[in-house]
Structure 1
Amino acid sequence: MMSPLVVRLLLLVCLASPLYGVEKVRTRGYRKDPDADKYGSCMQGPAGPTGREGNPGTNGIPGTPGIPGRDGLKGEKGECINEIFEEPWRPNYKQCAWNSLNYGIDLGKVADCTFTKLRSDSSLRVLFSGSLRLKCKNACCQRWYFTFNGAECTGPLPIESIIYLDQGSPELNSTINIHRTSSVEGLCEGVKAGLVDVAVWVGTCADYPRGDASTGWNSVSRIIIEELPK
């Protein structure tokens, strides 16, 4: 027969066995949270809502300047272009005309015509058209020429026409009296801009005696002046 002490021990063993099994089962089905050691032995709840964005931060300290770059390769020499803007050329001309000039002088100015020249780098084209006559018994020569402000053209040479009459026979030379429409024409450079007095003169030829000259007899005579670009 067992003693009362042994019976009590057996009874405690029988009562503790079911509780040990239940605790073992609970321990086996429970997974430990990896962060359990961080937050203690309490279990972590569900994640909370997303928080608001924070206020913008202040600008940082400016960085130090970088290293200067190297000079590039030297470029090719450019082409120099000079643009000259000039006003378009405008026609500039004038005509002076006389009906039956009938000027019988042998030396001096026959007729003149004033003209306004617009540019100094232009040229003047001049024309005299009218009847010319020379009469003499012996050999003679007369010269009709242009002047510009009282001087003959020097750019490049004078503008002139001549009539020479040979001695011939005394019978013919004493009666010959032929008037022919002729012209004196040329281009003169180097005349300055402004008012220009263009005139036609009659004079002698070098080394020849003068005769009896006549200009503009019984017909129209005219001077035409035109400014031309160079």
Structure 2
Amino acid sequence: MATLMARLLFFTWLILPFCGTEKARQRALRQRDAEYIERYNGCMQGPAGTPGRDGNPGANGIPGTPGFPGRDGLKGEKGECVRESFEEPWKPNFKQCAWKSLNYGIDLGKIAECTFTKMRTDSALRVVFSGSLRLKCKNACCQRWYFTFNGAECTGPLPIEAIIYLDQGSPEFNSTINIHRTSSVEGLCEGIHAGLVDVAVWVGICPDYPHGDASTGWNSVSRVIIEELPK
């Protein structure tokens, strides 16, 4: 009996280490399997599959709420005023009146007249008189040739005129000193309304000087040229 008990104890002493080792090994395996399952979601990862196709577009989402109003920006620089014009293109408008031989010997008064049709109010008139002028006198004298528009001299900006002045003349008006020279009176006048315009050339006196014996358009062609120009 004693011998049997001794054998059982000896066998138990031999078997217990192996059982503990086996249990420890099983626990390690179970722990590793649990970690593996936890890491890969319970399944072992296989090879990558074929990429799937794009899905259908989703429906529009709910509109977002309005944002906060923005702040006012810096004040800009003042712009230029541009007015668009729908007027027709500018067309030339001119006229010429000519006289073969005026031979006008008056000292004061109207010499010649030419009527012109002005198309626009915001335009200017260019006028030219070309013809022979003469002045003679005993003492100092001055004569003035000038334009009028509808009976008034130009005020936009100033009169259009030309003068001849003699300091020392001949002893008598019928002296042989009698020089006729082709001269011109020319200028631009603004501020004249559209429509018919009576353009005239006059002869008159110079301020503060006596007039002499004037002559206009002797033995030659005289002409008045009128042209409407854009401003």
TM-score tier, shorter chain, comes to 0.5 to 0.7
User: CA offsets, 1:7-52, max 9 Å, x none?
Assistant: xxxxxxxxxxxxxxxxxxxxxxxxxxxxxxxxxxxxxxxxxxxxxx
Query: For residue 229 of structure 2, what is the aligned residue in structure 1?
Result: 228
Q: After alignment, is 77-86 or 190-199 more displaced?
A: 77-86
Letter matched to residue 211 of structure 1: G
Query: For residue 203 of structure 1, what is the aligned residue in structure 2?
Result: 204
Aligned residues of 2:137 and 2:173 also touching (Cα < 8 A): no
Report the CA distance between 1:81 and its aligned residue. Answer: 5.8
User: CA offsets, 1:98-148, max 9 Å, x none?
Assistant: 001111110000000000111111000000000000111111110000000
Query: For residue 124 of structure 1, what is the aligned residue in structure 2?
Result: 125
| Inter-partner Cα distance in structure 2 for 1:171 and 1:211 | 11
Query: For residue 95 of structure 1, what is the aligned residue in structure 2?
Result: 96
Residues 1:140 and 2:141 aligned together: yes
Name structure 1 gaps, 5 residues minimum.
1-64
Query: For residue 15 of structure 1, what is the aligned residue in structure 2?
Result: none
Report the CA distance between 1:168 and its aligned residue. Answer: 5.0
How much is the aligned-residue C-alpha RMSD, in angstroms? 2.5
Query: For residue 37 of structure 2, what is the aligned residue in structure 1?
Result: none
Aligned residues of 1:137 and 1:173 also touching (Cα < 8 A): no
Q: After alignment, is 85-94 or 69-78 more displaced?
A: 69-78
Query: For residue 188 of structure 1, what is the aligned residue in structure 2?
Result: 189
Aligned positions, number = 166
- TM-score with structure 2 length normalisation? 0.65
| Inter-partner Cα distance in structure 2 for 1:169 and 1:216 | 22
Report the CA distance between 1:67 and its aligned residue. Answer: 7.7
| Inter-partner Cα distance in structure 2 for 1:162 and 1:81 | 44
Look up the SS of the partner of 2:148 in the other structure.
Answer: strand
| Inter-partner Cα distance in structure 1 for 2:196 and 2:173 | 47
Report the CA distance between 1:66 and its aligned residue. Answer: 7.0
| Inter-partner Cα distance in structure 2 for 1:139 and 1:81 | 56
| Inter-partner Cα distance in structure 1 for 2:152 and 2:216 | 21
Residues 213, 191 of structure 1: CA spacing in aligned structure 2 closer, same or farther, 3 A cutoff? Answer: same
Report the CA distance between 1:175 and its aligned residue. Answer: 2.7
Look up the SS of the partner of 2:184 in the other structure.
Answer: strand
Report the CA distance between 1:198 and its aligned residue. Answer: 0.2
- Structure 1 segment 155-174 matched on structure 2, within 5 A: 155-168=156-169, 170=171, 174=175
| Inter-partner Cα distance in structure 1 for 2:130 and 2:175 | 27
User: Identity rate of aligned residues, in percent?
Assistant: 80
Residues 1:106 and 2:107 aligned together: yes
Letter matched to residue 156 of structure 2: G
- TM-score with structure 1 length normalisation? 0.65
